[in-house]
Structure formats: structure tokens, C-alpha cells
Homo-oligomer: A and B are copies of this chain.
């Protein structure tokens, strides 16, 4: 019945249905048109995400998604010398893993709109405060992520999208265009505030709307189109098989 948009990513996707979240906002704006399916996996890098690919996007599905957002890199870009080193994936492999994801999804359904989203920039000071709030004086002084390191991944993400002719959101660049992005958009130096979620939503919805999602019809008649004396008429017109 309804088209689906699958949100595939790490914690920034998993948390996208919290209050003010970009995933929930998509579900709201496309209510009665599209189902938004949450496939976010906190802590995951692209290497681990590949193990789920066949499950989440089974080949030969009778109803492949109309669109997929792929939003990884924040964990791949964790520094080898920091607390997140076990999540680190070299940037060449990151790019290659993203390519495998796209190829897998497109091989099952060439018409699926795949959107690549880069990781956001990092507020190192925010990460430090967050680590202190968890570990106190035992918190490592070494940052786990930096904007510079994450930027290398963001660049490869956008480059890949261009190579493959896919739309992309360069969140890393976009957020840094706003003064005070560090606290305005990031809650712990990495995850998104409601304002940060609004940036993702606004960029993603531009792409979806260009692809015609907002022009999709309601799945059943608007209540104002229902003749209260003859309600079945509106339903028979719009969905003859009722």
C-alpha cells in the first residue's frame, strides 16, 4: 500500500523520533502518504552495519522502500587514540562500505531514492564535558572525535554520492555555516539538539519534496470530501476495491 522511507544509520538516526527529532518530523509531514521506518543502530559503524544489510533490505522484496537515508560516519570517524577506537573504520573502507550499501539497495530496486547524509561536525569541548559528566576526573583528556577527522569522512560521503549520482546532505558543512553551531545543534558534542534535528529535517525534506513525496495523494479521502449522506461514494472513487 503506502510507500516507505527507511532511515538507516547510527544513533543519530536511532534517536530521530525523540521530541523534535528529524525522523518523527518526516513521519508527521508525510502522514497519510508515506510510512517512515526507523532503522537506527546506536554505536554502529558502516563495517558492522553491513551485516544487517540483507535483513533490512532483503533482495526480491515485493515492496522495496521508495527512499532510504544512509547516515553513518560519526562512529567510523572515531579516533584511534580515543575512547571510541573500537568503532573506528578507515575512511577508504567507510566509503567502500557506503558504496556496498547503495549497490545492495539499488540492485534490489533501482528506483529507490537513496540519500547519503554526512556525519555532523564535532564540538570537542562538548564531548569533553559529556565525558566528565560520565567519568568525572577519570575522563580521558584525549578527544574521541574531532571536526577535522570527521570532515574527511564527510568529504568522502559527498564524493561518493556525486560519483553515484545520488543526492546528499553535507551536514558537516551545513551546520558549520551557523554561528554557535557547537551548542546550538549538538547536545553532547555529537548528538543533535532539536535545532540540530531541524537542520537534518529541512535538508532531507528538500530532497524528498523534489522527488515528489509531498505531492503524493492522501491514502484515503480527506474528511471534507466525504458526503455525510453517502459516505461510501468518496471511498469507492478513491479506492474502488474497498
- Measured CB to CB, the residues of A under 8 A from B are 1, 14-15, 17-21, 23-25, 27-28, 31-32, 35, 37-38, 40-44, 47-48, 51-52, 54-55, 75, 86-87, 194, 220, 222-224, 226, 228, 231-232, 235, 239, 241-242
Apart from the given pairs A20-B20, A35-B38, A42-B223, 15 other A-B contacts in the complex at a CB distance below 8 Å = A1-B55, A17-B17, A18-B28, A24-B24, A27-B27, A27-B38, A32-B40, A41-B223, A43-B222, A44-B223, A51-B232, A54-B242, A55-B241, A75-B223, A87-B228
Interface residue from B17, B41, B42, B194 paired with A24 (Cβ < 8 Å): B17
Q: Which residue in chain B gives the minimum CB-CB distance to A58?
A: B1
One of B17, B32, B54, B75 near A28 (C-beta < 8 A) = B17
> Within the assembled complex, what's the spacing in Å between the Cα atoms of A226 and B24?
29
In the complex with contacts A1-B55, A38-B31, A231-B48 CB distance below 8 A: yes
Whole-angstrom CA separation of A14 from B222 in the bound complex: 12
Q: Are B51 and A242 in contact (CB under 8 A)?
A: yes
Residue of B nearest to A89 (CB): B228
The CA-CA distance from A48 to B233 in the complex, in Å, is: 11
